[in-house]
Copies of this chain bind each other. A is one copy, B any other.
């Protein structure tokens, strides 16, 4: 499937509503449990998405457009949300994500990106030159894989309860 801005907005615009329908009002056992040491709960993932929105995705887009390959992206802090989410409820985080996503997409649309812009390059700290098109595709994939992660983490909480069925679900053993 070829990247287009329109197909990317389709996903980026709906993620806050997907997370709200999935998580608003669920018991803490569903939202606060993780997959074991050093893994994320659904609550953690929402905080991670907010952090990415505030620092990484728009920051890297701006760097590609303004600095090209003359500066390297700041590495993504995958654990920043443990501090930033402190004291906030899940519902607060869901509302915060909705607001910041809306703001960033308005900004992105205001750039009126051309095909030429999408071919512009930046420097990733691990794998060197990447295009704006690749970065925007990754933003979409990042949303989708984190929804997959949240539902997998939730499913795992009932793994023991399913008894012999657990072996039928490849995802429970991922």
Return the contact of A171 from the options B29, B145, B157 (Cβ within 8 A): B145
* Secondary structure type dominating chain A contacts: helix
**Interface residue? A69 (CB, 8 A):** no
- Cα–Cα, bound, A80→B127 (Å): 44
- Do the beta carbons of B148 and A151 come within 8 Å of each other? yes
Q: Which of A18, A154, A161, A170 has the most CB of B within 10 A?
A: A161
Interface string of A14-56 (1 = CB under 8 A from B): 1001101110011101100100000000000000000000000
Contact pattern, A 130-174, Cβ under 8 Å of B = 1, otherwise 0: 110110011011101101110110110111111111000111101
Please, which residues of chain B bring their CB within 8 A of the CB of A152? 144-145, 148
Count copies of this chain in the complex: 2
CB of A115 closer than 8 Å to a CB of B: no
A143 to chain B, nearest CB (A): 8
Name A's B-contacting residues (CB within 8 A). 1-3, 7, 10-11, 14, 17-18, 20-22, 25-27, 29-30, 33, 124, 127-128, 130-131, 133-134, 137-138, 140-142, 144-145, 147-149, 151-152, 154-155, 157-165, 169-172, 174
